[in-house]
Amino acid sequence: MLADLRLTDFRNYREAEIAPSSGLNIILGDNGSGKTSLLEAIYFIGSGGRSFRGGRLSRLVRDGAEAATLFARVDHGEHQHRLGIRRAPSGIESLKLNGATPGALSDVAVLLPVLALHPQSVDLVFGPSALRRRFLDWGMFHVEHSFLATWKEANAALKQRNALLRSGRVSPRELRYWDQKLAASSGSIEQLRSGYLARLKARWQSVLAMLAPELKGGLVLQTGLRDGESYLDALARTRDEDLRRGFTHTGFHRSELKMTVGGTLARDRVSRGQAKILAYGLVLAQLPLIEEAGKICTLLVDDLGSELDHEHRMTLLRFLAAGSHQTLITAVDRNQLAPAVDEKTGAAARLFHVEHGRVQRISDDP
C-alpha cells in the first residue's frame, strides 16, 4: 500500500507530493490538471515501469526536463520500504530500494500491487490475447511464490531456443535440450495458470452478477495443445515450422485466454460499455485474490464515468467505496461520484485537489 509519493518532472508535475489514506481517496481537478498523471506515476512504480495510458513512455518526463523521478514509501506487511525510480526519456536510469540498487524492477513492483480501472481497460476484452495473459500472470506474480522463478526459466529457454532456430546451424541435440527445458517450464506455468484462473473466474462471475447480471461471462485458457498431447510432443510437431520461421510456435507464451459472454467470444458481441464492465469486473476480481495472499492492493480508478450509464456507474462506485483496499479515484467534481459516494462514505474519504500540476489535500479526514 502506498504511504506517500513524491514526484519530480513527471508529466506536467514539476514537483508534487501525495500521501493517500489506506482507504478511499478522491482526486478532484479540471480537465488537463494532472489527475491521470498522478495515478500513472503510482502505476509506473507498481507495474515495473509501465503506463496504463499507452503512448510513448518517454513522454512521462516533463517537457524540457532531463528525467522524471519518483520516490515512494510503501507499507508492505509489517515493513515500510523506500522506493526510488529515475526515468529519462531513453529509459530507466536508476532504481533504488531502501537505499540499495535492486536486481530487477520486479523487486520493486512486488512491493506495491497496483490495479487500474481506466478507459483503456476495454483492451482486456477487445485487445490481443497477450494482454489477458499478462493480466493473469500479474496476479500470479503476486500470489504464487514459485511463479516468477518459473516464468524467468521459461523465458530464458524460449529465448535460447529462438536464437538457436535463427542461428542457421541447429544441432538436434541442443534443440532437444531446449525443447525439454521449455516443455517442463511451460507445463509448470500452465498448471499454475489454470489453478489461478479457476479462482479468478469464480470471483469475476460473482462481481459480474452484482454489476451486470445480464452478462454471463466465461474464461477459458487454450494452450494450443492437441488432445492428450504434451508440450514436448507439440514442440516436436511444430519443429519444422519453427525452423522455417525462426520462431517457437508452442509454449507458455502462446496460450490464449478467451473471454466469452453467453457462450460467444466477448469481443464479437458486446458493446463498449459492456466491455468496460467485463474488464472492470476482471480487474476487481483480482483484488480479493491478492488480499488472500496477505497483500493490500492499491486500486487506481481513472475517468470512471465515461461510457457507463448512471446505474452501472453508481453500482460500481458503491462497490469501490465499500472495499477494504486502498483506492484512488479521479473526478472532475464531486457530483460525478454522488450519490454513490454520499456524505457518509465521502466523509471517510481523503480529498485532494489538483490544479496545474499541483496537489493539495482538501479534507481533514481520518
Ligand X SMILES: Nc1ncnc2c1ncn2[C@@H]1O[C@H](COP(=O)(O)OP(=O)(O)OP(=O)(O)O)[C@@H](O)[C@H]1O
> Least distance from C-beta 33 to ligand X, angstroms?
4
Among 8, 12, 106, 180, binds ligand X (CB under 6 A): 12
If binding is defined by CB under 6 A, does position 336 make contact with ligand X? no
Is residue 188 near ligand X by the rule CB under 6 A? no
* Closest approach of ligand X to the CB of residue 65, in Å: 8
Site residues for ligand X, 287-316, by CB under 6 A, read 303
Judged by CB under 6 A, the stretch of 29-37, 107-115, 162-170, 270-278 that binds ligand X is 29-37
Q: How far apart are CA 3 and CA 50, in angstroms?
A: 20
- CA pair distance 302, 117, nearest whole angstrom: 6
Query: Which amino acid appears at position 134 of this protein?
Result: R
Using the rule CB under 6 A, is 187 a contact of ligand X?
no
Complex with ligand X: residue 274 or 336, whichever CB lies closer: 336
Binding ligand X (rule: CB under 6 A), the pick from 37, 47, 69, 248 is 37
| Residue 217 assigned as binding residue | no
Residues 314-333 that bind ligand X (CB under 6 A): 332
C-alpha to C-alpha distance for 287 and 281, rounded to whole angstroms: 10
User: What is the signed CA dihedral for 120, 126, 129, 134, rounded to 10 degrees?
Assistant: 20
Return phi, psi of residue 283, to 5°.
Answer: -65, -45
Considering the rule CB under 6 A, would residue 33 count as an interface residue with ligand X?
A: yes
The verdict on whether residue 33 carries a ligand-binding annotation is yes
Query: Would you put residue 115 in left (φ > 0), alpha (ψ -120 to 50) or beta?
Result: beta
> Cα dihedral angle (302, 307, 312, 315), rounded to 10 degrees?
10
Q: How far is the CB of 277 from ligand X (least distance, A)?
A: 21
96 burial class (0-12, 13-18, 19+ CB within 10 angstroms)? middle
User: Binder to ligand X among 32, 246, 339, 366 (CB under 6 A)?
Assistant: 32
**DSSP annotation of 112:** S
Tell whether residue 238 is among the known ligand binding residues.
Answer: no
State which of positions 41-100 bind ligand X (CB under 6 A): 59, 61-63
Closest CA to 140 of 189, 177, 91, 93: 189
Shorter beta-carbon distance to ligand X: residue 61 or 197: 61
Binding residues: 29-36
Binding residues for ATP: 29-36
Residues that bind ligand X (CB under 6 A): 11-12, 29, 31-37, 59, 61-63, 303, 332
